[in-house]
A and B are shown apart, each in its own frame.
Chain A
């Protein structure tokens, strides 16, 4: 029962419910201000986030400015200034692995966007079994990459793999998919595309389904061609959704690790050594935490800048949409 407040009059005792009394006895007379309340609510979560985000960050900065070869007796050594960063920017493997990461990200995300959007458009036109098809398409996303990646490894196998078996009747000779320097990166990309295209497709599908009908009906009345509708209506209206999906996939593609760890382990040689995989080898196998720290900070910096740019442009688009609406 909500407590009823009666104006205090001389001689009249104010009624209070049990709830009011118990609350008042715990809290100060004046209720907590909104600001403090809001801070109290975010406090536990922010404590965890601050601690586990900032402490490692500062520690990484600390390590990146020192000599830190954990296999040597010196361990974490003296301050060396920006030497590690200079080394990183001159290190061949650093740039090579960055190149691999970018190649992977560009082609994987590109393919996922194109395929995902196409699939979304087709799904949008389906009349029956839409829900079932949508749920089935969801399944690759639920699979742990490290686990299903091993299965793909088996399928890619030169002798025992099912891909060579299926391609044989088409006249394509058996390939050593994961052992051939020219084929291995495309194979890793295909794996990622397999897993994440449904992600793009489902989000774009939802975006399509949420578009207002009126502009399209008007366009049809005006006799616009399909191409015109797509170019002038659909895609401009889908831009926020497409940008968001692109941003999400890009950030995750750059940080990909499980796919390489389960398919190729950076190989053959270093053909699929992405930046994340190289950093792990450097930091946790060779224990050069100074170089790894410096490189990961550079990596973080680029990612944050990229995301900030994308997010800001997205927010600008949305603010404009809200203004127009």
Chain B
């Protein structure tokens, strides 16, 4: 990049970009600010920009609305389902990339499952998990209604198609000659997978894991419908502040902040991977 003087277009462009950034980031700032406001400062007309911060909303969320439990549930369900997706999805995606079982039709089927409207599946899921929850296997694995296991399985199901599709591109990028020469050296197929392919695909797998974590953490509908109190996740908790008595804006903002900010920090730290993941499916196809 040669050194060039700053031109007028540069200035204009950066002004526009900064304005855009302010527009896109303002709601997040407002959410965080509101979470530290005293309820009296929230319901003011017009809204206050300067205020004395308080931790009352957080205290309420954690002590009276039992938010700590929701966080724990979200953490467990997201991590567990992501782990399952990575293990099962990597194997399957590798197989599709190298051997293409089903000659493209299976892959197409997998892609279409992503399009199923939730309502078509929610009642069957509800009934399935209710039945499994009564069996002993179900109870030991925690696979009933209002149990974490049910959500883990659900989210695994949701994220598998996406993970397989995303990792497909990453695997296709690994030159097959590397695998062939390892095979010639006498390694078995599984060994080739473990020693040659996986290290090279590690970045792609990391990207997929990040997305699965993000989707599971942010998911609302199935958590809402399949849990009642014991296994509810953060998103359900946030929605719970919209009560019949009215909307508790303060604790709601605190809950929303707890739900949103960790994922944002996560995204900021791993932005390089996330952008790579977003674009890999798109640019390479």
Contact = CB atoms under 8 A, between A and B. Distances in A.
Interface in B113-140: 113-125, 127-128
Nearest to B126: A284
A145 interface: yes
B16 A122 contact: yes
B39 to A, nearest CB: 11
**Interface footprint category on A:** 35 or more
A164 interface: yes
Interface stretch (A175-183, A215-223, A225-233, A254-262): A254-262
Interface string B220-263: 11000100000000110011011000010100110110011001
A142 B264 contact: yes
A224 interface: no
B282 A127 contact: no
B101 A35 contact: yes
B42 interface: yes
Contact of B220 (A42, A136, A146): A146
A203 interface: yes
Nearest to A278: B119
Given A3-B186, A140-B24, A307 B112 contact: yes
A236 to B, nearest CB: 16
Nearest to A146: B220
Contacts of B28: 139-140, 143, 148
B151 interface: no
Contacts of A303: 115, 117
B271 A138 contact: yes
A258 B221 contact: yes
Nearest to B14: A126
B160 interface: yes
Interface of A: 2-5, 23, 31, 34-35, 37-39, 41-42, 44-46, 48-49, 52-53, 55-57, 59-60, 63, 119, 122-123, 125-127, 131, 133-148, 150-155, 159-162, 164-165, 168, 194, 197-199, 202-203, 206-207, 210, 240-241, 244-245, 251, 255, 257-258, 261-262, 276, 279-280, 283-284, 289, 292-293, 296-297, 299-300, 303-304, 307-308, 311, 314, 318
A134 B188 contact: no
Contact of A142 (B99, B214, B279): B214
Contact of B255 (A4, A41, A147, A154): A147
17 contacts: A48-B157, A52-B157, A60-B121, A135-B267, A144-B217, A144-B220, A147-B218, A160-B43, A160-B47, A164-B46, A203-B282, A210-B283, A279-B119, A284-B119, A296-B117, A314-B285, A318-B285
Give chain A's interface secondary structure class.
Answer: helix
Interface residues of B, number: 102
B10 interface: yes
Nearest to A119: B20
A134 B24 CA distance: 12
B45 to A, nearest CB: 5
